[in-house]
Amino acid sequence: MGNNKVYTFDEFFESGLEESISPFLEKASQKWSKNLPLKTAFFCLFLLIISYVIVYTNLNTNIAYLLLSFIYLFVGVPALLDALEDLKNFEINISILMTLAGFLAILLNSPLEGALLLILFKISDSLEKSISYRTKSAIFNLNKIAPTKAFVVNEDKSFSERSIKDIALNTKILIKAGEIVPLDGKIIEGYSEVNQVHLTGESMPVEKKVNDLVYAGTINIDGSLIIEVTKTSADSTISRIIKLINEATDAKPKIQRWLDKFGKIYSTIVILLSFIFAIILPFIFNITYLGKEGGIYRAIAFLIASSPCALIIGAPLAYLTAISSLAKKGILLKGGFILDAIRKCKNIAFDKTGTLTTGDFVLSSFEQVKFDQKTEEFDREKALAIADSLERKSTHPIAQAIHTAAKDIEHDARIIEFKSDAGFGIQGVCEIEDKKYKVHIGKLEYIEKFLEKEQKLEIEKKVSKKAKTLSFMLIDSFLFILTFSDEIRENSFGLIETLKKSKNLIMLTGDNSFNANFVAQKLGIENVFANLKVEDKLKHASELAKNGLVMIGDGINDAPSLSRATVGISLGKVGSATAIDASDVILLNDDISLINYLLKKASFTSKIAKQNLIFALLIIVLASIPSLLGLIPLWLAVSLHEGSSVLVGLNCLRLIKD
């Protein structure tokens, strides 16, 4: 077995993911074992329905009892083992109460009702665990971004492939064009541009030369690089982000904490009261301990009556119904209680690149520089056609923006000569309308080599006033400035305008302050924090989360902040796998205007959930106290329970409406 396979096992065991994706399992086994507890619960629900039909149609009840025995085996025994483990640790919670009620129902000759309680609780517990596994998968996906192997440069200048976990500090490794940087390091040979938008949020490829640092997870765009490793795989940028995600997830406020605390207190009180009632009822009402009207019978009836289905499913069903309704709109939630959390948030923070903007560059202006009044004017469309002809085969974001801007131009420019100066610019000879032109396109420092001293001073004055990404084109003696900006999403404008009325809006971006302020000014966002590293974003998110924070982002560098925020929202199409897994909400179609719809749905869901809980607690009082006093038979108490569950379900249907 190769090293790579062993490291896959290590990563899996460290991730805490569900067993269904274990590398030990065959593909077919993984498919069957995915969400196995939930599948088992629904299978048992199917068996229970058959049992009800058999019992109430007076068919062979032995078959019904056989099916019930399978139900208690599949969902009852695991619940009983968990309850015993909790009792061993001196912990009393809602699961012990439900397990106790489910099994004691057999003693009262009500196994159907007991099985229903166990099944509903199993479904709720399985859904909660499924959500937990999805959150942990952020770390597993992040591990898959960086390569597991790298080419080490040996002393004799040859190359050998080695696992990154075996590469020590100061080792020299080769990174070819198009490859992902496997480890953090310092460039000792070569020049290139790297794409690190998902790590830092920078929308432009960043040039890297000798002595510059490169980080694990970035993409080497064009040139080859030899780097000296400065951090091992355990301390690399990717590993650091994984650690931050873990810390942020642990620190994240859990809405379920109140429910867990309530469940422990409630369960303890009900169980203690049941034992007390079993002892004192015969003295109070002059009844026997045993028998159908005895104290033990009434105490058990009280225990079961205090665990109605409506209380179990009231709030979860409201949230699940809302989740289903939101999913039809292209909004996926990883948990129902996220709706409660988002409703209380006062702050909404946006990443810029890929979130408020599309992440694609557009040519926002294309102007000729006139050094004096004698400067002739060159036809703008011809100039754009020339630029497009030279950049046509390039995959660089700037080249794509030029090509998009020139798509409707009818001029046809033919390339006669072409040369690329990697990382600086390109030059060539173009022919258009039977006339040849010497053309240079690139950065300012590249173009300045072909300008006179007075022209250099003039162009530097103009550039100092610019706040966006620039490129320059020299056609013979005609100079053009090409200004590029990150394209703002059309639906960003309406969303920001609406949210400003009730929320505090912030932009958190790793991009430079010029680009960040340009976008913020266009949208009307006043609070802007730019040039942020991963740790900086997390620090701001932690501070803002004190008053409730909704964080919207799409990159790997957003993942810790998305996890730390009260509610993290990621984009499904452009978002990185890590950001998606670290978030609580996924916008499948990248339609951020749906955030306002989500906020409204959250408020309505909370209202429905509260109604259900109040109604369920009312049923507890109406069913448990009369059962304790012997005023109503057990079957009537159970009917009240089931009736309340139906009414709770009908109330939840109101959430399906838009």
Closest CA to 555 of 522, 529, 535, 583: 583
Q: Rounded to an integer, what distance in angstroms lies between the CA atom of residue 67 and that of residue 54?
A: 10
3-state SS assignment for residue 215: coil
Element (H, E) at 477: none
- Give the ranges where 347-406 is alpha helix by DSSP (H): 380-391, 397-405
Half-sphere exposure of 397 (CA within 13 A, CB side): 22
Q: Rounded to an integer, what distance in angstroms lies between the CA atom of residue 201 and that of residue 506?
A: 16
Q: Count of CB atoms within 10 A of residue 90's CB? A: 6
Q: Rounded to an integer, what distance in angstroms lies between the CA atom of residue 402 and that of residue 521?
A: 25
Q: Taking a C-beta distance cutoff of 8 angstroms, is the pair 336, 322 a contact?
A: yes
Q: In what order do the strands lie in the sheet with 414-421?
A: 357-369, 478-488, 469-475, 435-442, 425-432, 414-421
Q: Taking a C-beta distance cutoff of 8 angstroms, is the pair 566, 549 a contact?
A: yes
Q: In what order do the strands lie in the sheet with 527-529?
A: 331-333, 585-587, 567-571, 549-553, 347-350, 504-508, 527-529
CA angle 282, 283, 289 (to 5 degrees): 20
Closest CA to 305 of 626, 606, 39, 12: 626
Closest CA to 282 of 270, 298, 266, 269: 298
3-state SS assignment for residue 416: strand
For residue 351, indicate whether it is catalytic: yes
Adjacent-strand bridge partners of 512: none
Terminal Cα distance for the chain, rounded = 54
Choose the catalytic residue: 184, 351, 558, 590: 351
The sign of the dihedral angle between the CA atoms of 116, 299, 264, 100 is negative
Q: Rounded to an integer, what distance in angstroms lies between the CA atom of residue 282 and that of residue 292?
A: 13
Q: Rounded to an integer, what distance in angstroms lies between the CA atom of residue 219 and that of residue 640?
A: 62
Structure tokens at 546: 């004190």
Closest CA to 121 of 178, 70, 71, 75: 75
Q: Count of CB atoms within 10 A of residue 612's CB? A: 25
Which distant-in-sequence residues (6+ apart) come within 8 Å of 405 by Cβ? 362, 363, 366, 384, 388
Question: 440-476 in b/e burial notation, b at 16+ Cβ within 10 A?
Answer: bbbebebbbeebeeebeebbeeeeeeeeebbbbbbbe
Half-sphere exposure of 623 (CA within 13 A, CB side): 29
Adjacent-strand bridge partners of 571: 587
Strands 149-153 and 425-432 turn out to be unpaired
Q: Count of CB atoms within 10 A of residue 601's CB? A: 23
List active site positions: 351
